[in-house]
Structure 1
């Protein structure tokens, strides 16, 4: 991608989400906050802010409803807070039970919550934290909500939408050179191990898992009821780089000042994927607003092998937690 990112345009006029319900994870700051605001400005009837910090979420809810653009476009909007800690499978399951008990439709699911830590930590699930938050919990959330997304599509006659915040950085995975998968390793065990943890590659590793899952998905689930895609918004001026050590944070902040997009523009890209892109985007990563060519590692023989291994391991992992749909068969 060039140093200066190409311009992006707002969503086309005329999009209305009147009567629709949307969920945004990681909605209390950054891209997620702008996605939530733009959904409200597009007249979404109900927007669920899925957040780890409920008190902060409540403050964000009040702030959103007080914004003039929201009051003008959507004076009867409903914004709700439901706790979601994507480090914990149990929290994901509690979130979905709470949502399903209160709502009979779901039109848009924005899987935006994510982290990029440089220190190896294990989540309470036993999995490495970046992998848990950025990949595994998102798959569980998708599977738990998929029946309602499908039922909503049956009611409306239009596919429901699931959009995952991704990254071009997945091509920089440590699997390519720095920490390749050993012959006797499983994919998830590899990423849980201390030996495989490369601090500055782990965010890319976790985003690779998301992309590999998405690329395998259309082989099992078609796009007639639910369109699932991902997008990369490029460099965005958010707090994600705050985890960097100070000696890196300063130059990164300088680069961001020159080339980073605003969260508002990232929201345009996100909602293009969720509301404008069609069935051709199912199981694809959009770089800005165009379907991206798979990274070199993804297209390699090793990448294709890992894609199948990851799918099978994910089926086994999810089977411990939820009812795995019949289409989610091993390869």
Structure 2
């Protein structure tokens, strides 16, 4: 499971633009670095400019070390083309600020990697009134994608949206009435369940968006990066889940951050995946999702509720672009 699966080393055009959320640390860091090392322009969107600047400096140091080894897998650039844009997924206004900032650059967008996320979290609500995990892991990424899709549709062939989900989606059901969790108290709120559901929503989003993008140049895929040794993993280390993680570590079942990034990198750059949609990857290979994730009736419910949550941030033009000519059936 720590595995043999990696990703192809390819040469990417310097005109190819990749935006990754949470690209300053963990698997996002390695994803951003390697895509940039292959030649693309990469924008890392995260909360801290200081941490992003430190990450970019470290990426360039490691890039030069790879070049010095004569590795054929890196570009001949003198310096990586990596930049920072601020994004706080706990604020829908922050998402819109990023959208406006990106539009102002006049850049095309070929790949959007929705990687940022948090793990098990206490019961808390964002400034927008949404349950924290629901917004940070799912809703803000949906809003970001909705506003950037019009740019991606005019950016040429083979544009990709990649949703970093989790195998954890398989152990929960969809409950529309519990999305915000306000019927629970601080003591009865189960942060693990709400994390798992946020990952389920991402896969349901993949199917819903692909139906609407079927005739376009944009594809949506999702993936499970593995059990990865990052700061997020520590949020799960309580009770049975923690015991399970300790067992995985003991038999070599967890991955380093670099290994955890392999599946995302592959989904982003593998030329064989051009036009591939509705696929959930694990260890860089297609894997199965839960029957719940494929339930079209629940996908429709989630889509409708999502648009309601974001109604103040979605203009008629954006909704029209998002929906296309698709007519949802029950």
- The CA distance in 2 between the partners of 1:326 and 1:51, in whole Å, is 26
1:168 counterpart residue number: 167
Alignment equivalent of 2:304, drawn from 312, 318, 329: 312
Q: 1:43 to 1:327 in 2, by over 3 A?
A: closer
Distance in structure 2 (CA, Å) of the matches to 1:159 and 1:245? 39
CA-atom RMSD, angstroms? 2.4
1:327 Cα deviation from its structure 2 partner: 4.7
Corresponding residue for residue 10 of structure 2: 14
Change (3 A) 1:76 1:58: closer
Distance 1:49 1:280, change over 3 A: closer
Matched, 1:89 2:88: no
Could you say what secondary structure the match of 2:19 adopts? strand
Matches within 5 A, 1:120-269: 120-153=123-156, 158-175=157-174, 181=175, 187=176, 190-195=178-183, 197-222=189-214, 224-244=216-236, 252-253=245-246, 255-256=248-249, 258-269=252-263
Find the aligned partners of 1:48 and 1:294 in 2 and give their Cα distance: 30
Report the TM-score when normalising by structure 1.
Answer: 0.84
Helix, strand or coil: the match of 2:90? Answer: coil
- The worse-fitting range, judged by mean Cα deviation, of 53-62 and 253-262 is 253-262
Contact 2:2 2:259 in 1 (8 A): no
Q: CA deviation at 1:90?
A: 0.3
Mapped partners of 2:158, 2:31: distance in 1: 20
What residue in structure 1 maps to residue 27 of structure 2? 31
| SS, match of residue 50 in structure 1 | strand
Contact 1:40 1:70 in 2 (8 A): no
Match of 1:281 among 276, 285, 288: 276
Q: Secondary structure at the match of 1:193?
A: coil
Question: Relative to structure 1, is the Cα distance of residues 288 and 280 closer, same or farther in structure 2, using a 3 angstrom cutoff?
Answer: farther
Query: Structure 2: which 5+ residue stretches go unaligned?
Result: 69-74
The answer to whether the 8 Å contact 2:121/2:133 transfers is no
More contact order relative to length (CA 8 Å, sep ≥ 6)? 2
Structure 1 unaligned segments of length 5 or more: list them: 176-180, 182-186
Tell me the TM-score normalised to structure 2 length: 0.85
Question: Corresponding residue for 1:117?
Answer: 120
Answer whether contact 1:236 1:256 (CA < 8 A) is retained. no
Instruction: Give 1:330 shift.
Output: 6.6
Partner residue, 1:178: none
Q: Partner of 1:325 in structure 2?
A: 320
Is contact 2:158–2:274 with CA below 8 Å preserved after alignment?
Answer: no
Cα distance between partner residues in 2 of 1:71 and 1:103? 31
Report the Cα offset of residue 129 of structure 1.
0.5
